[in-house]
Amino acid sequence: MSVLIIDGGIPLKGKVTAQGCKNSALAILAAAALCEDRVYLTNVPDIGDVKTMMSILRSLGYKVTWGSGLTIKPGVIKNYDLTHTGAGSIRGSLLFLGALLGRLGKVVLPMPGGCNIGTRPIDLHLKGLSLMGASLDIQGGNIVGEAPSGLKGAYVYLDFPSVGATENIMIAGALASGETTIENAAQDQQVVELGKFLMACGVKIHGLGTKVIRIKGKKEIGGVTFRISGDSIEAGTYAIAAAATRGSITVDGVDVTFLRPLLFKLQEAGIEVVVTNGHEVTVLPSPRPKGITIKTMPFPGFPTDLQPLMMSLLATAEGRSVITETVYDGRMGHVSELWKMGANIEVEGNTAIITGVEKLTGAPVVANNLRAGAALVVAGLSAEGRSVVYGMEHVMRGYSNIHQKLRALDAKVELVSDEEAVNIA
């Protein structure tokens, strides 16, 4: 177990470059299983979930190497059963459903893991792939799928604009015969980037970034060189941390389009934000934020992944804030840990009512998932005194070298093992 020791109350200052987008990388790595030639990816984030996806590709027979970029060389695919590959540990592995059904016509995949943030059903994935000719069943905790006659293009309406279901159907549609239409598709960064990757591979896609996406399938997909864009969630994390510590930082290397919902809410709370060239955001030193209301929604709404972090910021806002979570029904697990730091938060179902306090106080807290852990780091940075965040391995699933980046921004942090933390904390 990894532990982050934080001596808080120091305003962040400096500049940080966003890592490659975590969720884009996971989708693209799954889609790389479609390719019959070399794929070379740059700006891939060095995080745990990416390494798990690399391991899955190796188990399929691909040669995966990491130098200045990530190289994926196809071999003879020797496996379609992913039950012993670590695939069950991350949600992103679910995207191998579409990839292997498209490439091999069969797949066995453990039910996906990932963060414990409430119900995360896979019914939309299964429904879409079934409409494309796949036969899918849940057997012994595994998803078993076959498409002996291959996948066929279909019209798929999503009851909810699920990012994962949109991606899975896009990946499957790339090798399906005919055209696949996804209506009520997700419009998030990783969906757009997956589409750009498939298009770079020669797949024809129309409507990318809109609610209706059309994919014209190909019989074979070659290789490509592709750069993954900056992670808007990581960039948003540092922007919120700057606001929470009353600091000033610049985040570059990110498409501001996907940050606009956050930036709007920061400005509404009284935080001064400057956007430069569409790829750089500066958070300026601002007074105590004002209470605001946030409702998470699929993009272009406010991102659910930044909800826990905004709660850490608003814990010291002036007045009352209300945050309603509409995407996941169990994303309030960080509240009990923020209580330990002095936050005044009431939870009613999926709504949190936050009465801002003057300051948080450092305390030992436990991260139980990726974004909740990041929220506790933000709270620790702004709190008075020392905080000890246990369970940082969850955070490092999605943030590359977070402790080093924070140090470069003048934060006083140290990443240690839990054994070392006993002596330091």
CATH fold group of domain 22-227: UDP-n-acetylglucosamine1-carboxyvinyl-transferase; Chain (3.65.10)
CATH fold group of domain 2-18+230-424: UDP-n-acetylglucosamine1-carboxyvinyl-transferase; Chain (3.65.10)
327 is in an annotated binding site: yes
Band of residue 113 on the pLDDT scale cut at 50, 70, 90: low
- Does the CA dihedral 305-241-293-284 come out positive or negative? negative
Q: Is 35 a catalytic residue?
A: no
Q: Is the pLDDT of residue 119 over 50?
A: no
Task: Quote the DSSP letter at residue 259.
Answer: G
Query: What span, in angstroms and rounded, lies between the C-alpha atoms of 414 and 388?
Result: 10
| 215-230: average pLDDT | 96
| 73-88: average pLDDT | 82
pLDDT in tens, 332-348: 889 999 999 999 999 99
| 153-168: average pLDDT | 96
405 is in an annotated binding site: no
Q: Is the pLDDT of residue 330 over 50?
A: yes
23 is in an annotated binding site: yes
**What percent of the chain lies above the pLDDT cut of 70?**
97
Q: Where are the domains of the chain?
A: 2-18+230-424, 22-227
Q: What is the pLDDT of residue 1?
A: 77
91 is in an annotated binding site: yes
Residue in 21, 35, 115, 201 annotated catalytic: 115
Name the residue with higher pLDDT: 88 or 316: 316
Contact 410, 11 (CB under 8 A): yes
- pTM of this prediction? 0.93
Lowest mean pLDDT among 202-211, 387-396, 412-421: 412-421
Contact 328, 120 (CB under 8 A): yes
Q: 24: Cβ–Cβ under 8 A, 6 or more apart, which residues?
A: 189, 190, 193, 194, 228, 229, 231
Can 2-18+230-424 and 22-227 be said to share one CATH topology? yes
